Amino acid sequence: QKGQIRVQTENIFPIIKKFLYSDHEIFVRELVSNAVDATQKLKTLSSIGEAKGELGELRIDVIVDAKTKTLSIVDRGVGMTAEEVDKYINQVAFSGAEEFLDKYKDANIIGHFGLGFYSSFMVSDKVEIFTKSFRENTKGVFWSCDGSPEFELYEIDKEDRGTRIVMHINEESQEFLEPGRIRGILEKFCRFLPVAIYFKDAGEEVKTDEVVEEKPINNTNPIWVKKPSELTADDYQQFYRELYPYGETPLFWIHLNVDYPFNLTGILYFPKIKQSYEIQKDKIQLYSNQVFVTDEVKDIVPEFLMLLHGVIDSPDIPLNVSRSYLQGDPNVKKINAHITKKVADKLEEIFRNDRKSFEEKWESLGLFVKYGMMTDDKFLDKANKFLVMEDAAGGTFYTLEEYKAATEALQKNKDGKTVILYTTDPIQQDAYIKAAQGKGYKVIKAETLIDAAFINNMEMKWEGVSFTRVDADIVDNLIDKQEHAASVLSADEETRLKELFQFDAPELRMTVEVKGLSAETAPVVATRPEFMRRMKDMGAAGGG
Ligand code: ADP
Ligand code: MG
């Protein structure tokens, strides 16, 4: 037998109400999105002549009224006729947005699934709709439902075009009658929606003699939807401050703008970072048609770029994203790869066109680049060209190729590999650095937290290269042992050495000098093995 699955509305309704979204506050986003959609539809229909006459001010009002325990969302959009209410509202999971999208190819519509409206029942005992279509010769319509599968629908007199949704907030959801709470939710989800949204607390005293200037809670025209060519550096920096009021000026930014094979816009900022512990992840905000979706961008943004700041907007990422959805979605994989490529291209461009500024920013940049090279092979391929290593002396930077060229022949081990000498502490290892430099070797800095892991990783990935710490024993295979086995202490250090034998001063440092300079004239000459032996003895004797 073949047949059709039937749904029992009585049973399915409570499930929708309870479990549609785990986060109840989402209902605000859904209803405001519907109001935005209704407004955008009207603009589209007007532009093609299907909606006649003046549109008037297109705005959305959100009004919280603690006295009547209602939250209302009012728009001046397309509105609905009685037939439309019956079709779009009374049929759960029938999306008018989807239908409109199919018909008009209007990419600015937010809705998709035809469930958003019902999220209002998560927080309401009763929901009412007062609506009037933009179509000529239609009457206003009233619809009401108390959360049971029964509804009321009849015609009313309504002057103005558009829709007013009134939610009678239930006992458990009284928080949504607090003006501060609603304002907070609006600022989170609706901050960059394309229609002006005004928030009003009906209970607020308004002095009649005072003219209060109304200000929308949103910026209807965020810069990521504009063309990069219309924007100045100042615009980008200002937008950064809008997103992160306490952030430092970003190093630079990338304006993403793709329309094939998926839609994606956004701006990614490289923040200034000195220490890796300052890094804050989850600073990128994900939007879908200017509606905030989440700031958990894992899977959409490659792991190493989660350190970046900014916004990504893609209508191809649906509003109800969930972890499992994102992982399996082919678009998400493409978006991820595209972002990686864009970032690598931008870095290469700065490196080629303005190497000086690239090097100046390396302290912050290096972290992203190294992390990216360790975790993403596609990025590694590109970054091999612009990763730089700073000379221990400071100020000079080598790419891998440059380092190889500069040390050719001189710095090879017996396997013929280029030995990259590095220092993890230029002060502590100063003597070894000097010795190596004296031989004409290049020593690079590897002082940051990520460097140890990076070096390990690159030793596997870079062919013909091996890393050696400048004070490691095998450096002796490169640096002739005979020539500077002697370690010379200055008068000052001699005193400290003496002290050490009485009081344990672990920071005592030795200088190593190349033979022939001053070993004879120095007051004390201690060889390194000798020194180490004594230190060991001291340790064995219980720390002096
Ligand atoms: P979706 O937005 O995914 O289509 P919803 O459940 O949010 O689903 O809404 C269902 C439909 O109801 C919408 O597609 C639209 O046709 C209609 N609708 C909802 N709210 C409004 C509104 N404020 N003005 C006009 N139509 C609306
Ligand atoms: Mg919707």
- How confident is the model over 234-244, as pLDDT tens digits? 999 999 999 98
pLDDT for the residue 310: 95
Residue 124's beta-bridge partner residues? 169
**Ligand 1 midpoint to CA 84 (Å):** 10
Query: Looking at ligand 1, which residue's alpha carbon is closest to its atom 16?
Result: 96
Contacts of residue 377, defined as CB under 8 A and 6 or more positions apart, other chains included, come to none
Q: Is 532 annotated as a binding residue?
A: no
**What tokens were used for 260?**
């094939």
**Ligand 2 midpoint to CA 121 (Å):** 14
Q: Higher model confidence: residue 160 or residue 274?
A: 160
DSSP annotation of 94: -
Query: Looking at ligand 1, which residue's alpha carbon is closest to its atom 7?
Result: 116
Q: Read out DSSP for 182-229?
A: HHHHHHHHSTT-SSEEEEEETTS---TT--PPP--SS-SS-GGGS-GG
Q: Is 163 annotated as a binding residue?
A: yes
pLDDT for the residue 474: 62
pLDDT for the residue 462: 94
Task: Please answer whether residues 43 and 56 qualify as being in contact, where contact means their C-beta atoms are separated by less than 8 angstroms.
Answer: no
- Substitution site in 32, 117, 120 for ligand 1 pocket (most atoms within 8 Å of beta carbon): 117
The closest of 110, 115, 28 to 63, measured between CA atoms, is: 28
Q: Where are the alpha helices (DSSP H) in 376-443?
A: 377-383, 400-407, 430-438
Give residue 289's region: left, alpha or beta (phi > 0; psi -120 to 50): left
Q: Is 95 annotated as a binding residue?
A: yes
The closest of 532, 529, 486 to 511, measured between CA atoms, is: 486
| 23-44 average pLDDT score | 95
Query: Looking at ligand 1, which residue's alpha carbon is closest to its atom 15?
Result: 96
pLDDT band for position 135 (50/70/90)?
very high
Q: Is 147 annotated as a binding residue?
A: no
Backbone angles phi, psi at 151, to 5 degrees: -135, 165
pLDDT for the residue 332: 79
Count of CA atoms in the C-beta half-sphere (13 A) of 419: 22
pLDDT band for position 109 (50/70/90)?
confident
**Three-state DSSP class for 306?**
helix
- Substitution site in 37, 60, 289 for ligand 1 pocket (most atoms within 8 Å of beta carbon): 37
pLDDT band for position 542 (50/70/90)?
very low
Where do the DSSP E strands lie in 66-174?
70-75, 124-132, 140-145, 151-156, 162-169
pLDDT band for position 115 (50/70/90)?
confident
Instruction: Evaluate if pTM is beyond 0.80.
Output: no
**Ligand 1 midpoint to CA 35 (Å):** 8
DSSP annotation of 148: S
Q: Is 70 annotated as a binding residue?
A: no
Residue list, ligand 1 pocket, CB within 6 Å: 30, 34-35, 38, 75, 77-80, 88-89, 95-97, 111-117, 163
Atom of ligand 1 nearest to the CA of 92: 6
Q: Is 80 annotated as a binding residue?
A: yes
Ligand closest to the CA atom of residue 85: 1
Atom of ligand 1 nearest to the CA of 41: 25
pLDDT for the residue 259: 83
**Ligand 1 midpoint to CA 113 (Å):** 10
The closest of 60, 23, 16, 507 to 296, measured between CA atoms, is: 23
Contacts of residue 46, defined as CB under 8 A and 6 or more positions apart, other chains included, come to 55
Atom of ligand 1 nearest to the CA of 95: 4
